[in-house]
Amino acid sequence: MGTSTVKDIAEKLNLSVATVSRAINNKEYVKEETRQRVLQALKEYNYVPNEIARSLKLQSTKTVAVIVPDICEAFFGKIIKGIERTIAYREYSIIVADTDEKKENEKRYLDMLFQKRIDALVFATVDLSGDYVKNYFSSFPIVFIDNIPELEDVDCVVIDNAKASRMAVEYLIERGHREIAVIIGSVKETTGYARREGYLDTLKQYEIPVDPDLIQYGNYKEDAGYRCMETLLKQRKEHPFTAVYVTCEMMTFGAIKAIHARGLRIPEDISLVGFDIQDRAKLIFPSITTVRQPESVIGRKVGELLLKRLDEKDSGKHTSEKILLEPYMEEGESVKPINGR
Amino acid sequence: MGTSTVKDIAEKLNLSVATVSRAINNKEYVKEETRQRVLQALKEYNYVPNEIARSLKLQSTKTVAVIVPDICEAFFGKIIKGIERTIAYREYSIIVADTDEKKENEKRYLDMLFQKRIDALVFATVDLSGDYVKNYFSSFPIVFIDNIPELEDVDCVVIDNAKASRMAVEYLIERGHREIAVIIGSVKETTGYARREGYLDTLKQYEIPVDPDLIQYGNYKEDAGYRCMETLLKQRKEHPFTAVYVTCEMMTFGAIKAIHARGLRIPEDISLVGFDIQDRAKLIFPSITTVRQPESVIGRKVGELLLKRLDEKDSGKHTSEKILLEPYMEEGESVKPINGR
DNA sequence: CTGAAAGCGCTAACAA
DNA sequence: TTGTTAGCGCTTTCAG
């Protein structure tokens, strides 16, 4: 399927390229008859616009990039789908980059994408300093998801992480739990910090004293979840707890394994609330009660914000937007109610 | 971070754009001293090449597209990562498109990507006729994965699906099973057809008679797996079986649910071998014995083939390559050995 | 070794 | 309403 150019068409029709271009782009000032002749010829000579040439001229590539730490996580997959669905009608397409959770790769991609002159970026960064990305703030609009770097005035779409913790902890408290352990990611990341705040606030609200030893910190990986849980289990005599709330997916898995490794059962011996657990097949046993994020909504909101920024393009400054979405609980069988005490 | 152009640099240095361009691209015929001055200036004036302009001139965008039915399936995610890793050093980047398993979307993307003048395509199609995609055969190299359309001379990287079935069935036979049911996707797709052949061949080899009623066909979705399993279970009196082999991921999940719904247990009542089951967290109980595909190897092979085709670019015709990779078994606890009969 | 100039395919003043 | 022309930023003959 070779293709022809505007010039080819113009020659065949004895028109100028300008007229053909106008006809193609449905611009004004083209006689209806001429337009029809052009449209006809486009088909006949198998014309497909060269988006590259157009990009060069218009200084816009109609391309949005999405950088994520791991494309295999369904969480990001769903968000990407949501974005795609939202911006597709405007003819934007998406370049996906997978950083493997590495800062070096973030840099590499940022440079590469700028060279490709993307129109906008959606960024789930692992570099909370934002040191490198801020070089690009003036180059194209950027919307952050998942983690927000410690920078002023950034656009982002995230869930209310404090609220997520509040929901999880209240869920447990309502079922009679008062000694609640928690496993948290780095408080240097927003996802870690806010989730801890929510936990602490809720305990305070219910006048439950905080035992610092019941708060364990990991690095979001499964191993860390395992180790944190082990620590909790070892010190359980001195620092008893009836339930544990794990604030991210992989650490939840690790924690569960650690519990099983000790020969303990969920929820009989320990109740557990997880985070971001997606059990498509409902095959995990026992099924996990978990905090969930509305991925498709996140995707849609990101898409909408993107389009807004794209339209504002150099039409002056704007204030940054922080869009907070609601997390929700998905109930499984991993929490056992405690009757009184 | 505004950027400057070749022209800007040339002016600052009182050179011609040609010389600057040569220096940038490490071409010959540039005095070493001049080159150094240019390189210096690039930094100073924050020059970043405009890949769009270069693409237009060079008629190559350094971009490879990957079209998959569902980006959320880890299977595709891993392949994409593998491709990415393999072609990144050559400065290619990847555009990912998610068709939601819909032919219309395949068309839409194919058109869009051609407009963007991608250099090559990796395609996991759901349209086995290949009717539409073949229009693009002359436009850019295409490597098929997962499913192969019924067309002559296509490049593809897939596992040996017949062998996959052979491994699964032999695994069962070696453990004493002789009455083995099977749930298969559409035989109009290569993944369905070849997997059935492997099943049939293996039975023949072991001189086990084939009971056609033990072969059920679905459409790759979870529902279908459920229904197929129900059918098998209903007719179990007349068509007994001790094990079932399900030939794709989602249908495996469906089948398991159907078994549980009947109050039967795996593997006590029925042994099961699945396909493509990825249980990252090892939380599925019982763990499933499954056929697996080496996703990263697939990705790497695809990447290598891609580079090869890209290098051949209009250096004449080539023959198509069909790269067959080895599947492997991942052992779980879903198969119970039967002792004699 | 360097520069002038053409041109990749397209859009958009400006002129006619 | 249509055509002429410049130019987006770059690479690459071809002359010097």
**All protein residues with a CB under 7 A from any atom of strand C:** A 5-7, 17-18, 21, 24-25, 27, 47, 49-50, 53-54, 56-58; B 14-19, 22, 29-34, 53, 56-57, 59
**Residue B64: pLDDT band with limits 50, 70, 90:** very high
Quickly state the pLDDT bin for B341 (edges 50, 70, 90).
very low
- Distance (Å, rounded) from C-alpha A2 to C-alpha A99? 36
Cα–Cα distance for residue pair A72/A184, rounded to 1 Å: 22
Structure tokens at B98: 């998610």
What pLDDT shows up at residue B279? 81
pLDDT of residue A132: 95
> If pLDDT is split at 50, 70 and 90, which confidence band does A314 have?
low
Instruction: Give the dihedral of Cα atoms A282, B215, B163, B208; nearest 10 deg.
Output: 130
For residues B106 and B162, the answer to whether their CB atoms sit within 8 Å is no
Partner-chain contact A98 B84, CB within 8 Å: yes
Q: Do B93 and A113 touch (CB under 8 A)?
A: yes
Scan for tokens 């499964």, then name that residue.
A222
pLDDT confidence of residue A105: 93
Chain D, protein-covered positions (CB within 7 A):
1-13
A61/D6 CA-to-C1' distance in Å: 22
Asked if A147 and A133 count as a contact pair (C-beta separation under 8 A), the reply is no
- Look at residue B316 and tell me whether its pLDDT is greater than 60: no
- Chain B residues lying within 8 Å of A1, measured CB to CB: 114, 135-139
Q: What is the average pLDDT across B146-168?
A: 94
Quickly state the pLDDT bin for B122 (edges 50, 70, 90). very high
Domains in chain A: ranges and CATH: 6-49 (1.10.260.40), 58-159+295-326 (3.40.50.2300), 161-293 (3.40.50.2300)
* Coil/strand/helix, residue A3: coil
The confidence band for A317, taking pLDDT boundaries of 50, 70 and 90, is low
Nearest CA in chain A to B78: A72
The candidate with the shortest Cα–Cα distance to B148, out of B167, B128, B131, B171, is: B128
In this prediction, residue A217 carries a pLDDT of 96
Q: What's the whole-number average pLDDT of chain A?
A: 92
Question: How many Å separate Cα A68 from the centre of its chain?
Answer: 8
Which residue, A223, A109, A246, is CA-closest to A165? A246
Strand C nucleotides where any atom sits below 7 Å of a protein CB: 1-13
- The pTM of the whole model exceeds 0.85: yes
Mean pLDDT score across all residues of chain B:
92
> Who's near B28: CB < 8 A, 6+ residues apart?
B22
**DSSP H or E run through A331:** none
**Backbone angles phi and psi of A289, in degrees to 5:** -75, 130
Looking at the C1' of nucleotide D7, which residue has the nearest alpha carbon?
A: A57
Residue A181 reports pLDDT greater than 90: yes
How many C-beta neighbours within 10 Å does residue B50 have?
19
Give residue B315's pLDDT: 58
Q: Quick one: pLDDT at residue A221? A: 83
Per DSSP, chain A holds a count of helices (H) and strands (E) of 11, 12
3-state secondary structure of A174: helix
Closest nucleotide (C1' vs CA) to A20 is D2
Q: What is the DSSP string of A191-228?
A: HHHHHHHHHHHHHHHTTPPP-GGGEEE--SSHHHHHHH
> Rounded CA gap, A192 and B26, in Å?
47
Identify each DSSP E strand in B73-208 by its residue range.
93-98, 120-123, 142-145, 155-159, 180-184
**How many angstroms separate the CA of B27 from the C1' of D13?**
14
Q: What is the pLDDT of residues A121-158, one digit of tens each?
A: 999 998 889 999 999 999 999 999 998 998 989 999 99
Q: At what angle do helices B17-24 and B6-13 cross, to 10 degrees?
A: 110
Residue B283 has pLDDT above 90, yes or no: no
Q: Which position has the token pair 């400054």?
A: A317
- Count how many residues are written for chain B: 341
Beta strands per DSSP E along chain B: 63-68, 93-98, 120-123, 142-145, 155-159, 180-184, 215-217, 243-246, 271-275, 289-292, 322-325, 328-330
* Confidence band, pLDDT 50/70/90 cuts, at residue B2: low
Residue type for B332, please? G
- Taking residues B30-39, report their average pLDDT: 91
A32 touches strand D (CB under 7 A): yes
- In the sheet with A93-98, reading across from the earlier edge strand, the strands are A322-325, A155-159, A142-145, A120-123, A63-68, A93-98, B93-98, B63-68, B120-123, B142-145, B155-159, B322-325
Q: What percent of chain B has pLDDT above 70? A: 97
Q: Judge contact between A95 and A118, C-beta under 8 A.
A: yes
Nearest to A253 among B77, B112, B283 (CB): B283
CA distance A145 to A322: 10
Using 50, 70 and 90 to split pLDDT, how confident is the model at A341? very low
Closest CA to A258 of A236, A290, A228: A228
pLDDT value at B317 more than 70 = no
